[in-house]
């Protein structure tokens, strides 16, 4: 069941994020698998702002966090435990973020992701996202991409995507 995260749910999310990152190791992206997950303190603003959702059965097995970026809902992160992958949980969470964005009058959803990782750009394309060319990025999305570049994430090709 998808629901807004409670403060108590947040303690499970860093470990969930670490587990969700492990598949990157198998495709030669160990740095991504080893990347530090968001801390509980970093997640609190999402939770307290009604922008963090979990899929719990009853333990949390997937989550998504979002923010508003350039007049769009922005999927900041969506993660699913590998043991629960390929069950539609990521899609359901993204649709929930889409409902949140629509309720706020936002124009659609954006996200940034790895271009060549099968469970990244190709997956989001199947969910109706399209690659957004850099010349159409707003200032906030441009800042997100610049921060990703500064973190070294562009060692592997990345794209911004839009649905809506």
Number of structural domains the chain divides into: 1
- What pLDDT is stored for residue 78 in this prediction? 97
Residue range 104-124: average pLDDT? 96
| Nearest C-alpha neighbor of 13 from the set 93, 71, 70, 86 | 93
Pair 43, 52: CB distance under 8 Å = yes
CATH number of the domain within which 72 lies: 3.40.630.30
Segments forming the whole domain that contains residue 121? 2-163
In this prediction, residues 152-160 reach a mean pLDDT of 94
pTM reported for the whole predicted model = 0.94
pLDDT at 149: 95
Q: How confident is the model at residue 83 (pLDDT cuts 50, 70, 90)?
A: very high
Backbone angles phi, psi at 159, to 5 degrees: -140, 155
Conformation bin of residue 50: beta by default, left when phi > 0, alpha when psi is -120 to 50? left
5-22 tens-digit pLDDT = 999 999 999 999 999 999
User: What's the pLDDT score for residue 89?
Assistant: 97
Kindly report the three-state secondary structure assignment for every residue of the chain: CEEECCCHHHHHHHHHHHHHHHHHHHHCCHHHHCCCCCCHHHHHHHHHCCCEEEEECCCEEEEEEEEEECCEEEEEEEEECHHHCCCCHHHHHHHHHHHHHHHCCCCCEEEEEECCCCCCHHHHHHCCCEECCHHHCCHHHHHHHHHHHHCCHHHCCEEEEEEC
What is the percentage of the chain residues whose pLDDT exceeds 70?
100
pLDDT at 68: 98
pLDDT digits (tens, 9 = 90+) for 25-82: 999 999 999 999 999 999 999 999 999 999 998 999 999 999 999 999 999 999 999 9
């Amino acid at each position: 069941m998808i629901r807004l995260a409670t403060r108590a749910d947040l303690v499970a999310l860093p470990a969930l994020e670490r587990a969700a990152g492990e598949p990157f190791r198998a495709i030669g992206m160990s740095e991504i698998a080893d990347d530090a997950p968001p801390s509980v303190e970093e997640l609190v603003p999402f939770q307290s702002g009604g922008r963090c959702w979990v899929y719990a059965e009853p333990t949390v097995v997937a989550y998504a966090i979002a923010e508003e970026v350039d007049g769009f809902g922005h999927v900041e992160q969506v993660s699913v435990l590998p043991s629960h992958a390929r069950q539609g949980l990521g899609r359901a969470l993204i649709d929930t973020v889409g409902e949140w964005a629509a309720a706020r009058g936002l124009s659609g959803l954006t996200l940034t992701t790895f271009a060549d990782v099968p469970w990244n750009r190709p997956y989001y394309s199947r969910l109706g996202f399209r690659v957004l060319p850099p010349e159409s990025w707003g200032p906030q999305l441009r800042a997100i991409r610049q921060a990703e570049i500064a973190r070294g994430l562009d060692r592997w090709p990345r794209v911004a995507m839009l649905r809506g």
